[in-house]
Structure 1
Amino acid sequence: MPQDKKTRRAVRQLSADVARKIAAGEVIDRPNAIVRELMDNAVDSGADSISVEISGGGIEKIRISDNGSGMTKEDLSACARPHATSKIVDTADLNNITTLGFRGEALASIAAVSRLSISSGNWRMKASILEDHILEQIPLVQNGEGTIVMSEGLFENYPARRRFLKRPSSENMLCRETFVEKALPRPDIAFRLTTDNSLRLDLPKDVTLTERFVSALELNESTENFAELKACGGTEWKFKLVIGEPTVYRSDRRQIFIYINGRRVQEFSLLQAIEYGCQGFFPNGTHPVAALFAEVDPSTVDFNIHPAKKEVRFRDSSALHHGVSSTVKEYFRSYGIKNSQIFEDKDNEEQNNVPGFDFGETSPSLKVSENHSKTNENSETQFFSSLAALALSENSKVQEKNEKPAISTGPQKTAGDLRSRFFNYDSTQTAQKTLYENHSYKNDHISENSSSKLYEKTEFPQFTKPDSDGFCYIGTVLNCFLVAQVQDTIYFIDQHAAHERIIFNKLLSGKTETQALLIPYKITTEDESEEKYLEAALPFLKNAGFTGKNAGEGIFEFSEVPARWKGTQNDLQSALLDKLVKPEDIIYSVAAMTACKAAVKDGYVLDRAAAEELARQALKLPDPHCPHGRPVWTTLTKEQLFARVRRTR
């Protein structure tokens, strides 16, 4: 009920009991908070083996043991007092925090909401809301090594708080997540997690960061799918980053971890730095799987801004941000090149530059068929013609092997007949006869040891002879994919993604034609920061073909755009101001949008010469991904085909 406005209450100092419960609520809100605080203390003790046992979701019992430096009788008698700690002495120490725990609130808060016991050496201390640091002598525990800390009956003296806890199974999951969070950055320590007397995780020590990352998160991918990157910024910062290949992705950011000085924090700027570096390799709203382990000068970072130490404040994180994004970007660029070299280019200039073939829409060689249905019909006829020829070739091989009389293969066995047999298709509807229908293979026996004779004998126009690199263009399927063969591998090339990447490369190279606008685009900024941002971006935009100037009053006018630009003024404004990336990176997103709008689309049927040249250039791309991260092509090998039809050699 709302209080009467005239009611006045006197100011009173809270009792020690109420104050302790309020303070404890800031630190210990559920069982996993106890796991977090006690594991921090175990790591700080110098232990190289830590075991966590949980019962009833951590509500009934949490037991954490370590083999660290242990505690003396004097330590035990004072450790659970409010603000008791061995980590800091005076305020100056707050500017140079090197431990995970430092506030002296954890044990006091746990004792305020549960029954706490700590055993070390041959002494045990008990503390709770009903007991105040009761010390008792016990037999030597763990051969005198380390400490055992146990919490029981969480919130049993605080029923209102206990009602807000989740089911034990849900609390178990949260405790497990906290356990993994603490185990990830310390591969030099062995960790064991036992839940309700069942061993759930056993993480050995002295492994690599990548091995710890994969095993702790129990990922389906192997360590071979991850890279471990390193960078150093002098004495200010250094980091290690474990990140998955583009084939390792998730639909959300939950498996991107940010650690600062061994502590996981919620730091959006560094998460953003990882994703900036990944730009162009994780399309369609997907995200990488990664963990950043950064070590920074303690005097440049403040952890004392959140009761659970989940947030951090940097004096200046721009250098670290740039180091992370550039390192990730360089890795993915080299990854794309490493995985895309199909041909060994003899000419270095050809390898380093975008090929000179013009894929602009005005080029006569990139001509879209006016009659899609007719082109599709011809493509279908060609496909079945080749199918018939291959079938006859196999028949010839069988005849030669078995030394049986040749089977008649007269003109009546046409591609149209095969088509009608398998698809109930009326070949009389096809106006154009295939070459196969006008050619008899009655006396032609293709040699089993010569694949080149297949081209000599059939002379089908949809096939080309393999060139010196083994490249052979086959045709277009589904009005979207270009099919080519290189040696024993078939490549299915997405014509839109390939054309988009080629245009994108040309835009970034600065070799793009521009067109003047009759009515200039006017981009309006909302505040001074956006105005400064666009002012800094103008030189980079001009390199991409966008010529603009500051017209004053927060308005920027663009008088020229790339000749291939198909967007609108709103598209340009969205590309420039939505994400506010660094000015030197803005050209990437603008060029990507330009290339996407200018590239051929799904359903465009290219003439044969343009399609073949596009396929050739696609397989020579240094980075076989479109600017938005989708692969340009996929493959199917001879071995894979053999496996599909269960064929042996």
Structure 2
Amino acid sequence: MPVIHRLSDLLVNQIAAGEVVERPASVLKEVLENAVDAGARAIEVQLEQGGVRRIRVADDGCGIARDELALALERHATSKISTLDDLEHVGTMGFRGEALAAIAAVARTSITSRATGASHAWCIDGSERSLSPAALNQGTVVDVADLYYNTPARRKFLKTEATEYAHCDDMFRRIALSHPDVGMQLSHNGRVIHRLPPSTPAARVAALMGDDFLQQAREVSAVGGILSLSGFASLPAYSRASRDAQFFFVNGRYVRDKLLTHAVRQAYTDILHGNRHPAYVLFLELDPAGVDVNVHPAKIEVRFRESRAVHQFVFHAIRRVLAESGAGRTEPQTSPSPSATHAQGAGFGVAANTTHAASANTPSSEQQSHAGARPWPQSMPQQGRLAMDSASRAYLDFAASAHTPVTGSDNKVATAPSTTPATVTDHDGTPPLGFALAQLHGVYILAQNRTGLVLVDMHAAHERILYEKLKTVLDGRPSVQRLLIPAVFSVSAKDMAAAEECTEVLSAMGFELAPAGPQELAVRSVPALLANAPIAELMRKLLEELREYPASEVVTARRNELLATMACHGAVRANRQLTLPEMNALLRDMEATERADQCNHGRPTWTQFSMHELDRFFMRGQ
């Protein structure tokens, strides 16, 4: 029978290397973390053949004493923790004390180090464990060559040089992002790739993520008790097809945590287009005792003691930043390039008015007579020289006929006679989105604000306004508009069954349906906000979605998706001619709506062209 025996130290380390040293990037991670823990202020990385041939990391940290060099290559030998209490409050990047031993077991490794105050440096060979004097000004140099030279089976699992280098580059970027105060340099096959001097977090993010990311992101800064979140989260317009631009750090350590990823993803609900992914660089700081970093050999995963509290904190912090409507800022900035103008508009960033649907939208007695005929409540602050009384009346007239077909018009550029001045000379009275000038092809609104030209997609903007108001209204008791003549439409047997099964759900949303025949339904009441929507089209879409999900799930998880469908079908359609007061009323409502920069599908609702951009395009002054 097999005999139980003790494994050799080399084999134990080689087994451990299977967990710790997955590829060259894993080696680079462990060595870089050691350099950071040593207090290095400058780190230089040299790679050859994607790190498979060689990884050399030099730092100017505190170094390793001669008598401790051999111990540094032993398993579970570390200077970073001594007791269980140290482990529960670990504040260093590394602490397990097995990385160097595992690396030395599968690669030709040498460590040259000069401890602070030592007369000269010492070098140790990872295989022979022999010490010899060496020349080094300060710090430590770890040289790892021929990875997996003695375990060829594992080497076969490595990818091409380009792939392994890409992983190393990504690992370098993670460490560099989390420690902007450390100067870092990366070279590959003799060519310098990154040269990063010590800098501010914003400058380091710009250097590694690109200026375009920084220009199209919003700064995150939130504190709640022992938790703090900082960094940058991209606007939806800067979304990506993959997750390659997502960096989350917990106490300076890069992590891939499902809880944190879910919190961020949830914050982008309603504003991210399709299957796109947000880009972000976020730093979560908390008491080390509140997070367990010892749940994964590579320390890539963590476990929070109060996971729900952390999730909610991150979710609300990001959502609050993204909810700030760019339309409400009083000091818009100049866009850096015409190719990214929609992000410039979305990047104005102010605190949105989250209570406008309550007091500001209380209609007057005259307006209440129109309440059943307008697609959304109106709040029109008195701003500038705009004649808001006439605008209000004109706006309500527009709302009452927002879905009537337009005939006999080529819809080139629609302008309407109005006593409202299109150009406002008093800059202090100019709203952020300015005042309307004209309508283009029945689709876009052209407006002038203090910095230049604003272009608004009226359907997308109205859709977002409706959606946010529907969410607010549904949280209470929705205002219902009873139809004078019920809207009757034909349905399939499945739709008829869905309508019967989901009667309570539809009633809670403000719809009253009843059978009008074997395959017909009659809609007798609708939410007041959707009184002028195409009822049959809207109801067929809602019933289609209700068929696929249980009613209980619709009320909770899918409620917002249904509201988005309602808003999309209820929003004003293209080719609807608007007067200037009507357009101005829409602009004011955008300024008072959260997340007005994107429609419910994540598309931008408006963009800004500054005078500087227009002058540059037409070469004025050149």
| Matching of residue 630 in structure 1 with residue 603 in structure 2 | yes
Shift of 1:476: 4.6
| Matching of residue 185 in structure 1 with residue 185 in structure 2 | no
- Residue-by-residue CA offset, 1:438-487 (whole Å, 9 max, x unaligned): xxxxxxxxxxxxxxxxxxxxxxx74545437644553450x433445668
Shift of 1:35: 0.6
Counterpart among 414, 421, 443 of residue 467 in structure 1: 421
| Matching of residue 310 in structure 1 with residue 300 in structure 2 | yes
- 3-state SS of the aligned residue for 1:287? coil
- Residue-by-residue CA offset, 1:317-370 (whole Å, 9 max, x unaligned): 22222222222222233352444899xxxxx98997359675339987425455
Counterpart among 111, 120, 125 of residue 118 in structure 1: 111
**Structure 1 segment 196-235 matched on structure 2, within 5 A:** 196-205=189-198, 207-217=199-209, 219-221=210-212, 223-235=214-226
| Matching of residue 109 in structure 1 with residue 102 in structure 2 | yes
- 3-state SS of the aligned residue for 2:178? coil
Instruction: Call closer, same or farther: CA 1:591–1:101 in 2, change over 3 Å.
Output: same
Question: 2: distance between equivalents of 1:58 and 1:221?
Answer: 30
Task: Report if aligned partners of 1:31, 1:175 keep a CA contact under 8 Å in 2.
Answer: yes
Residue in 1 that maps onto 2:245? 255
- 3-state SS of the aligned residue for 2:590? coil
| Matching of residue 63 in structure 1 with residue 20 in structure 2 | no
Task: Report if aligned partners of 1:463, 1:475 keep a CA contact under 8 Å in 2.
Answer: no
Task: Report if aligned partners of 1:277, 1:326 keep a CA contact under 8 Å in 2.
Answer: yes
Kindly indicate whether structure 1 or structure 2 has the higher relative contact order, using CA contacts under 8 Å at least 6 residues apart. 2
What code does the residue aligned with 1:148 have?
Answer: V
- 3-state SS of the aligned residue for 1:231? strand
Instruction: Call closer, same or farther: CA 1:191–1:561 in 2, change over 3 Å.
Output: farther
Range moving further from structure 2, 117-126 or 12-21: 12-21
Counterpart among 459, 469, 474 of residue 506 in structure 1: 469
What code does the residue aligned with 2:606 have?
Answer: W
Counterpart among 132, 156, 161 of residue 136 in structure 1: 132
Question: 2: distance between equivalents of 1:49 and 1:293?
Answer: 22
Residue in 2 that maps onto 1:408? none
| Matching of residue 50 in structure 1 with residue 43 in structure 2 | yes
Instruction: Call closer, same or farther: CA 1:295–1:506 in 2, change over 3 Å.
Output: closer
**Structure 1 segment 289-368 matched on structure 2, within 5 A:** 289-339=279-329, 353-354=360-361, 359-360=374-375, 365-368=400-403
Q: What is the total number of aligned residue pairs between the two structures?
A: 517
Residue in 2 that maps onto 1:375? 409
Question: 2: distance between equivalents of 1:578 and 1:137?
Answer: 73
**Structure 1 segment 18-33 matched on structure 2, within 5 A:** 18-33=11-26
Task: Report if aligned partners of 1:576, 1:590 keep a CA contact under 8 Å in 2.
Answer: no
**Structure 1 segment 471-550 matched on structure 2, within 5 A:** 471-477=435-441, 479-483=442-446, 490-510=453-473, 512-514=478-480, 522=501, 545=510
Task: Report if aligned partners of 1:575, 1:590 keep a CA contact under 8 Å in 2.
Answer: no
Instruction: Call closer, same or farther: CA 1:488–1:180 in 2, change over 3 Å.
Output: closer
Superposed CA RMSD:
4.0
- 3-state SS of the aligned residue for 2:212? coil
Stretches of structure 2 that go unaligned for 5 or more consecutive residues are 115-119, 333-354, 368-372, 377-396, 425-434, 487-495, 513-523, 531-537
Shift of 1:30: 1.5
Instruction: Call closer, same or farther: CA 1:634–1:243 in 2, change over 3 Å.
Output: closer
What code does the residue aligned with 2:568 have?
Answer: C
Question: 1: distance between equivalents of 2:464 and 2:161?
Answer: 52
Instruction: Call closer, same or farther: CA 1:608–1:220 in 2, change over 3 Å.
Output: closer
What code does the residue aligned with 1:514 have?
Answer: V
Shift of 1:38: 0.5
- Residue-by-residue CA offset, 1:42-73 (whole Å, 9 max, x unaligned): 11112222221112222222111112121112
Residue in 1 that maps onto 2:262? 272
Residue in 1 that maps onto 2:576? 606
Question: 2: distance between equivalents of 1:63 and 1:489?
Answer: 53
Task: Report if aligned partners of 1:360, 1:366 keep a CA contact under 8 Å in 2.
Answer: no
Report the structure number with the largest CA radius of gyration. 1
Instruction: Call closer, same or farther: CA 1:368–1:590 in 2, change over 3 Å.
Output: closer
Counterpart among 527, 533, 536 of residue 562 in structure 1: 527
Shift of 1:40: 0.9
Instruction: Call closer, same or farther: CA 1:489–1:291 in 2, change over 3 Å.
Output: closer
What code does the residue aligned with 1:467 have?
Answer: P
Question: 1: distance between equivalents of 2:211 and 2:560?
Answer: 33
Range moving further from structure 2, 151-160 or 481-490: 481-490
Counterpart among 581, 591, 594 of residue 566 in structure 2: 594
Percentage of pairs with the same residue: 30
What code does the residue aligned with 2:306 have?
Answer: D
Shift of 1:133: 1.4
Instruction: Call closer, same or farther: CA 1:546–1:316 in 2, change over 3 Å.
Output: farther
- 3-state SS of the aligned residue for 2:103? helix
- Residue-by-residue CA offset, 1:406-456 (whole Å, 9 max, x unaligned): xxxxxxxxxxxxxxxxxxxxxxxxxxxxxxxxxxxxxxxxxxxxxxxxxxx
TM-score w.r.t. the length of structure 1 is 0.69
TM-score w.r.t. the length of structure 2 is 0.72
- 3-state SS of the aligned residue for 2:572? coil
Question: 2: distance between equivalents of 1:577 and 1:108?
Answer: 57
